[in-house]
Amino acid sequence: MTEVKTIIPDTGALIDGRITQLLEENRNARVIVSESVVAELEFQANSGREIGFAGLEELKRLSDRAKEKKISLEFAGERPNAFEIENARFGEIDAKIRAVAKSSDGVLVTTDRVQKCVAEAEGIEVIYLKPVVSEARLSLEELFTPDTLSLHLKEGCPARAKKGMPGRWKLEVIGKETITKKKLDELAREAVEYSKRTPGCFVEIDRRGATVLQLRDYRITFTHPPFSEASELTVVRPIKRMRMGDYGLPEELVSRFGVQAEGILISGPPGSGKSTFAAALAEFYSQQDCIVKTLEQPRDLQVTKEITQYAPLEGSLENSADILLLVR
């Protein structure tokens, strides 16, 4: 890569965490961070969103490099108002970042394809950071044994785990050390980083006080004040995929599922296997030459690729239902 003199990262590029890596190839570069980026990251972090903290950590690494005289770090542009920050999806923040890149005659670094295309149309040089496909580390996996259904880590308490099978499990203490807030924060940030680096992973929910990630077979829920009185991390993993034939159901009932069922209600206490049975039903209908869609929040059913899993559209299950009518 040719040497770049002036780099302007946008919000997504800082959250992505590869700006410091880029600077290894562009030593003594001048880095200009738009005040709009700082404000957006600050807003996300104050809202309890882990992506905001991830971006601020990358900004801290840039600051450390500047103190070591390895780069020049500057802040420029106007700070956006609250309305612009809350409505960043409409492009006002991105426009302010592009303005800084244009006025400084620098290179905009982004992970956003739309930002890339608009910047190029405006004559701004762009470095587009494509999604990375690489194995990242998820240390939480080390706490799982073959019979572990879920992990429960709470600030001020020892680690606990549900072990056994759906409907037949017991809660065990699996560590003597008390879990600290610092440790939970580290695990949460690691999980967010893993979601950015590993295919098939995504942030399902990111709200003030709660973040939910789906990392392949793992569903990770991180809560903290003001939503919960203390920080807590819960990791759920299905240990077995079931098929309808595995349940030993009466043939008459299975036949009714196939030809007469217009609505099926699945009920039971937590950990009894409701989601596992729902996934088995979805695959049963898929094998009956049906087009099968699921509507979930979070999307954690373990199903085959032929089954499409939908989440709330623009935060609304009703909006998703409108789309379902068009994709039957």
CATH of the domain at 60: 3.40.50.1010
Q: Do residues 186 and 156 both lie within one domain?
A: yes
Q: Do residues 16 and 121 both lie within one domain?
A: yes
Number of compact structural domains in the chain? 3
Query: For residue 133, what pLDDT band results from cuts at 50, 70 and 90?
Result: low
Residue 31 scores a pLDDT above 90:
yes
Q: Do residues 118 and 143 both lie within one domain?
A: no
Report, as an integer, the average pLDDT of 214-224. 88
Q: Do residues 124 and 147 both lie within one domain?
A: no
Residue 101 scores a pLDDT above 90:
yes
Report, as an integer, the average pLDDT of 73-90. 81
Residue 298 scores a pLDDT above 50:
yes
pLDDT at site 251: 87
Q: Do residues 108 and 17 both lie within one domain?
A: yes
Inside any domain, residue 168: yes
Q: CATH number of the domain that 152 lies in?
A: 3.30.450.90
pLDDT at site 96: 92
Inside any domain, residue 265: yes
Report, as an integer, the average pLDDT of 125-146. 81
Inside any domain, residue 82: yes
Closest CA to 223 of 271, 185, 171, 270: 185
Work out the percent of the chain whose per-residue pLDDT is above 70.
95
Inside any domain, residue 119: yes
In terms of residue numbers, what domain contains 285?
Answer: 244-324
How far apart are alpha carbons 35 and 183 in whole angstroms?
31
Q: Do residues 90 and 57 both lie within one domain?
A: yes
Q: Do residues 157 and 263 both lie within one domain?
A: no
Read off φ and ψ for residue 242, nearest 5 degrees. -105, 150
Residues 6+ apart with CB under 8 A from 109: 7, 8, 9, 10, 13, 19, 22, 126, 127, 129
Inside any domain, residue 134: no
pLDDT tens-digit profile of 228-268?
999 999 998 876 678 888 888 898 888 888 887 778 888 98
Q: Do residues 52 and 29 both lie within one domain?
A: yes
Task: Tell me which of 184, 214, 236 is where a domain ends.
Answer: 236
Edge-to-edge strand list for the sheet holding 201-207: 168-178, 158-165, 148-154, 232-236, 218-223, 210-215, 201-207
pLDDT tens-digit profile of 52-62?
888 999 999 99
What average pLDDT does the chain have? 86
How far apart are alpha carbons 110 and 106 in whole angstroms?
13
How far apart are alpha carbons 89 and 93 in whole angstroms?
8
Can you give the chain as a three-state secondary structure string?
A: CCCCCEEEECHHHHHHCCHHHHHHCCCCCEEEEEHHHHHHHHHHHHCCCHHHHHHHHHHHHHHHHHHCCCCEEEEECCCCCHHHHHCHHHCHHHHHHHHHHHHHCCEEEECCHHHHHHHHHCCCCEEECCCCCCCCCCHHHHHCCCCEEEEEEECCCEEEEEEEECCEEEEEEEEEEECCHHHHHHHHHHHHHHHHHCCCEEEEEEECCEEEEEECCEEEEEECCCCCCCCEEEEECCCCCCCHHHHCCCHHHHHHHHHCCCCCCCCCCCCCCHHHHHHHHHHHHHCCCCCCEEECCCCCCCCCCCCEEECCECCEHHHHHHHHCCCC
Report, as an integer, the average pLDDT of 286-290. 86
Work out the percent of the chain whose per-residue pLDDT is above 90.
34
Q: Do residues 124 and 14 both lie within one domain?
A: yes
Residue 135 scores a pLDDT above 60:
no
Q: Do residues 144 and 187 both lie within one domain?
A: yes
pLDDT at site 109: 95
Residue 304 scores a pLDDT above 80:
yes
The tokens describing 88, both together, are 């960043």
Query: For residue 4, what pLDDT band results from cuts at 50, 70 and 90?
Result: low
Most confident among 4-8, 40-44, 194-198 (mean pLDDT)? 40-44
pLDDT tens-digit profile of 110-124?
999 999 999 999 999
Residue 72 scores a pLDDT above 50:
yes
Task: Tell me which of 179, 203, 236 is where a domain ends.
Answer: 236
* 24-38, 95-109, 240-254, range with the lowest pLDDT: 240-254
Q: Do residues 283 and 231 both lie within one domain?
A: no
Inside any domain, residue 133: no
Query: For residue 171, what pLDDT band results from cuts at 50, 70 and 90?
Result: very high
pTM of the model: 0.58
Inside any domain, residue 101: yes
Query: For residue 156, what pLDDT band results from cuts at 50, 70 and 90?
Result: very high
Residue 88 scores a pLDDT above 80:
no
Residue 161 scores a pLDDT above 90:
yes
pLDDT at site 1: 45
Task: Tell me which of 75, 98, 128 is where a domain ends.
Answer: 128
Peptide bond just before 80 cis, omega within 30 deg:
no
Inside any domain, residue 301: yes
Q: Do residues 231 and 295 both lie within one domain?
A: no
